[in-house]
Amino acid sequence: MRRAIFPLNKSIGLLLDPDKSKGETLRNLLTVAEVCRTDYILAGGSLTFSSMDNLIDEVKKYCSIPVVLFPGNLLQLTCKADIIMLLSLISGRNPELLIGNHVTAAPFLKDVRDKLISVGYILINSGNRTSVEYISQTEAIPSNDPEIAVATALAGEMLGLGMIYLEAGSGAGNHVPLSIVEAVRENVSIPIAVGGGITNKMEIESIFNAGADMIILGNGCEKNPELLRDACRVRDTLR
């Protein structure tokens, strides 16, 4: 799969944390993902001590869904994924997450450039401080200020990034506000992914209708695989 067709319009991604996604629980979730034709499996997390290679091998053993690397840090880099998100945390001002880590990673990734998709990663305040904010040492954009989110997304597009990821954070109390998704969609032409704090079918439909090209689900599906089924049903009705 080439980066030119990533992400598919109105697509669903299932984010797996290597520390939490193991054994029979993982296999059962992958079975659900395969049956409901989930578009992508994302692998990564803010803080993980487990092997990313082992998780990707396990995913590929039990399903045929493309695997997307969503690296939380340099230790999570691997070339085994089908697609690799090169994340720039453009909502923060931590230089390591804007360019420093990318310089370190470039020699490792230079031979798999066809797998790379440059992503402007934007944290949106979700009502409580998330692990992403703590680990990245950055503040999220206020949820009531679409103008800052729009300006940040525009800057990312103007810098040549291929995608914007609006993130409420793992375990977020609320999903990214629809007003922010709508405002960003009206102002950028590159694909938009939305993740964090999404808990039900109505929210999924509303976020897609607000302009998201891709919705990424994580913790909610591990606790309730039916959420993944619902998400794929919504996707199928909107495509």
- DSSP letters, 84-134, are EEEEEETTS--HIIIIIHHHHHHHHHGGGGGGEEEEEEEEB--SS--HHHH
Give the chain's domain count: 1
pLDDT of residue 3: 47
CATH code of 39's domain? 3.20.20.390
Per-residue pLDDT at 172: 78
What was the pLDDT predicted at 49? 64
Averaged pLDDT in 10-residue chunks for the chain of 239 residues? 71 92 91 97 81 93 96 92 97 96 97 96 90 89 96 98 93 90 98 95 98 93 92 96
Give the per-residue pLDDT at 1: 41
Chain centroid to CA 142: 20
- Give the pLDDT of residue 85: 97
pLDDT of residue 175: 95
Where in the sequence is the domain holding 148, given as residue range(s)? 3-238
CA distances from 101 to 20, 29, 88, 118 (A): 25, 32, 9, 13
pLDDT at 176: 97
Contact 29, 14 (CB under 8 A): yes
